[in-house]
Amino acid sequence: MEDRGGVLLIGLASDMAGDVLAPLAAAGLHPQLGTVADVTDGPWSLVISAPAIRGLGSMDLLAALRSATPAPPLLLIGRAAELPPPGAGPLRIECLPWPFQPEELVSQVQQLLRKHRAAIPAVAPPRRESVARMVEPQFLELAAHERDELRARRRPGESFVAVLRLAELDQYRERLGHQAEARLWEQVGVLAGMDALADEVAALGSEGDLLLLLPGTSAREAARRLQSLSARLATASLQLGGQAAQFSPAIGFRDLRRSAGAADALAQARQACGQSARHLDLHPVRWRRATTAAVRRAGPLRLWWFDFYGRHLLAIQYLLTMVVGLALPFLAYWWLGTHGWDISELVYDVVVAMLALTALSIWAEGFLALKREDPPLDPATPYPAASAIIAAYLPNEAPIIEATIAAFLRVQYPGRLQVILAYNTPRDMPEIEQRLAAIAREHPRFTAMRVPGSTSKAQNVNFALPYATGEFTAVFDADHQPDPDSFRRAWRWLSHGADVVQGHCFIRNGAASWVAKMVAIEFEQIYAVSHPGRARLHGFGIFGGSNGYWRTALLRELRMHGFMLTEDIDSSLRAVVRGRRIVSDPHLVSRELAPETMQALTKQRLRWAQGWLQISLKWIVPALRSRHLSVRQKLGMLQLLAWREVYPWVSMQVIPLVAWWAVREGSLWRLDWLVPLFVVTTLFTLSTGPGQILFTYRLADPALKQHRSWFWFYVATSTLFYAGLKNAWNRIAHYKEWRGETAWIVTPRVSAKR
């Protein structure tokens, strides 16, 4: 049904406007965004408004409608509690509670339009140019003119060409007609126009994409505008051939001024769009010219150093961090002390206070974790459809993947459960891939997806998300085997207000080696004590990367950013800073594999440590500025992000302090070791290790409590070297980040079948 009178939208919030615009555009109704001032510029066949518009009195809209000739009907859309009782009268006010089904909206709008046209002949109002009216050659002419204006300095600022693709559209094209695809792009164009920049131009590209010209703006504003558009499209339900569909937008952009021409700028924006499409993380990619380092001829000495440095990389980095953490502070204390500015006593007081506060918070987390918290016995709503996404690097996970899939197929869930294996592999693996296809034929709820061009877990998860049909989606690594009741327990949390639920990751191969045994106890300490205790202390939880259950809409909105080494923590911080609630449940268990060698563990923990540093640098300031976080939560963010990066350096300062005092006094034996403050704080700080083990044993999974000797083994290894080694890994990670070393190394599965 084609409307010739026009529909005006005013005062709707961004998420509500998106839900209104796309269905109306798909129905050919050409909705337009405007303000109250636009009401009298009609005539309009229908005005859609929020019940209350910020900055306007309740009578301003009614006055504008009365002054319009002819007066259009008014449809108020908002939450049910905000809507007035529907009434008749000269303005014909109707109401529609939000949220609603798209079909419900279109039906009510079409009914109102029919009534209006029956009473008053429709006259077409001024209408924005449809996105389908401009094609690529016209767009290039405008872009070329814009470039000329910029280079002649007749246009201030910068201008950008952007390209937008819908990643999943290609699979629909074969069975879609031209008209259905045109309607789809019409919806995209309407959504793109919601916060368009001044004089922004849109056109359909020849490669099945949307082209945008963003004139007279800055790179930051262009990126912000495109990021907002990407997030809106990712959460929008678009009409495609009569059915609702969701897509993953990929966006690339390029500045015009420094391009060789408009066509080159468009081609380079398409290259950047292709890079964005490989990650599907909703992050617009700006095209940048590839840089190549100057090649220098290396002499024999330089070649020897490169070889030596590569073979002894970690040892050299460890020594460098020890020089920075021990030798330089000692030299500073010595130089200042010999010149009459001895600050060692002050530094000692600060160090002792910080270590004591850290110990106090560790004890607090332990005591808070003792109280068991379960979700309500019954869900607030019936069990909906659920999805599980298993991310796998197939050459690494091939020996274990079938056992993992079998564990997921054993999950007992009353609703429909979809299991997606999203895997990447650099080469064909016909034997295992054929077995995966056979499992999919035997079990219709299982789907195996090979992710083209993927090199990371983030790309695999992002690729699978548009295919997830569940109301909530669980994310797992390929070695996880969830307990049969895990999805039911997760929904009981989610249905009662949680946005994300982080479960308990239990190590199931602790007997494989002494390293795995040590990690098994460490993981119990993390997931049974630290995570739930910290969540209660600070008022927020953290998604740790696996055995996490997300509201699907939220995960689609946030995605995972593959350019972060710990993309899972980054996603959870983005959720928390927006005010979303993450629950930590130590009784929601999934069983995974630990690294079995010290080499594998070191590679894993260095990546984690460097990833946490990236998270801290990125999120400390936004977290403190967030209007969604309380003072308590912001203090928790300071401890979680800032203090965790400072602590590995502060904790070792006692050594250079004592060394300086020994030099100052002439001997270690002349120092007074029985100073009450020193004795009390030392004992209190050292007590946290045994205290954590006591809490861990009390709260550990019953299967692990059968191995009491493992707990004693962990006490010994942690005291002798492991606690210090973890701090050393953090310091080395700081050096790696400073050097720009950001390689993502897969954790190998040594004896995966155990």
Rounded Cα gap, residues 535 and 530, in angstroms: 8
Whether pLDDT at 45 is above 90:
no
Sign of CA dihedral 198, 201, 202, 206: negative
**Are 112 and 152 contained in the same domain?**
no
Rounded Cα gap, residues 160 and 170, in angstroms: 26
Q: Is 76 exposed, middle or buried (0-12, 13-18, 19+ CB in 10 A)?
A: buried
In a domain, 207, yes or no: yes
- Torsion, CA 419, CA 424, CA 428, CA 429, rounded to 10: -50
In a domain, 66, yes or no: yes
Whether pLDDT at 128 is above 70:
no
Taking only the tens place, the pLDDT of each residue in 464-503 is 998 999 999 999 999 999 999 999 999 999 999 999 999 9
CA distances from 147 to 99, 111, 142 (A): 44, 47, 9
Q: Decide if 30 contacts 8 (C-beta within 8 A).
A: no
Sign of CA dihedral 183, 187, 188, 192: positive
Question: Where residue 127 falls among pLDDT bands split at 50, 70, 90?
Answer: very low
Tell me, what CATH number does 198's domain have? 3.30.70.270
What is the structure's pLDDT at 417? Answer: 96
Beta bridge partners of 213: 161, 201
In a domain, 304, yes or no: no
**Are 431 and 376 contained in the same domain?**
yes
Domains contained in the chain, number: 3
**Are 114 and 153 contained in the same domain?**
no
Six token digits for residue 169? 């559209």
Beta bridge partners of 243: 240
**Are 504 and 575 contained in the same domain?**
yes
Lowest mean per-residue pLDDT among 499-508, 690-699, 734-743:
734-743
Tell me, what CATH number does 30's domain have? 3.40.50.2300
**Are 106 and 142 contained in the same domain?**
no
Sign of CA dihedral 662, 667, 670, 676: positive
Taking only the tens place, the pLDDT of each residue in 678-688 is 788 788 888 88
In a domain, 698, yes or no: no
**Are 394 and 489 contained in the same domain?**
yes
Q: What percent of the chain has pLDDT over 70?
A: 92
Domain closes at, from 586, 611, 636: 611
Q: Decide if 504 contacts 547 (C-beta within 8 A).
A: yes
Rounded Cα gap, residues 352 and 448, in angstroms: 54
pTM for this one? Answer: 0.83
Taking only the tens place, the pLDDT of each residue in 291-314 is 554 445 667 777 777 777 778 888
**Are 141 and 83 contained in the same domain?**
no
**Are 62 and 136 contained in the same domain?**
no
Rounded Cα gap, residues 181 and 202, in angstroms: 16
Tell me, what CATH number does 386's domain have? 3.90.550.10
For 650, residues 6+ apart whose C-beta sits below 8 A from its C-beta are 351, 354, 355
In a domain, 607, yes or no: yes
In a domain, 529, yes or no: yes
Taking only the tens place, the pLDDT of each residue in 311-368 is 888 899 999 999 999 999 999 999 999 988 999 889 988 998 899 999 999 999 999 9
**Are 100 and 158 contained in the same domain?**
no
Domain closes at, from 98, 119, 140: 119
**Are 496 and 450 contained in the same domain?**
yes
CA distances from 222 to 194, 226, 228, 253, 563 (A): 15, 6, 10, 9, 20
**Are 390 and 441 contained in the same domain?**
yes
331-337 long-range contacts, Cβ below 8 Å, gap at least 24?
333/656, 333/657, 333/660, 334/660, 334/663, 337/660, 337/664
Q: Decide if 8 contacts 71 (C-beta within 8 A).
A: no
Taking only the tens place, the pLDDT of each residue in 711-722 is 999 999 999 999
**Are 211 and 246 contained in the same domain?**
yes
Six token digits for residue 501? 């639920």
Domain hosting residue 475, numbered range: 371-460+468-611
Task: Count H helices and E strands in the chain, helices first.
Answer: 30, 20
- Torsion, CA 732, CA 734, CA 738, CA 739, rounded to 10: 20
Question: DSSP letter at 510?
Answer: G
In a domain, 678, yes or no: no
**Angle ∠(698,541,99) on CA atoms, nearest 5:** 135
Rounded Cα gap, residues 460 and 529, in angstroms: 31
Question: Where residue 746 falls among pLDDT bands split at 50, 70, 90?
Answer: low
Domain closes at, from 260, 286, 312: 286
Q: Decide if 44 contacts 8 (C-beta within 8 A).
A: yes
Helix, strand or coil, per DSSP, at residue 572 = helix
In a domain, 715, yes or no: no
Q: Decide if 505 contacts 704 (C-beta within 8 A).
A: no
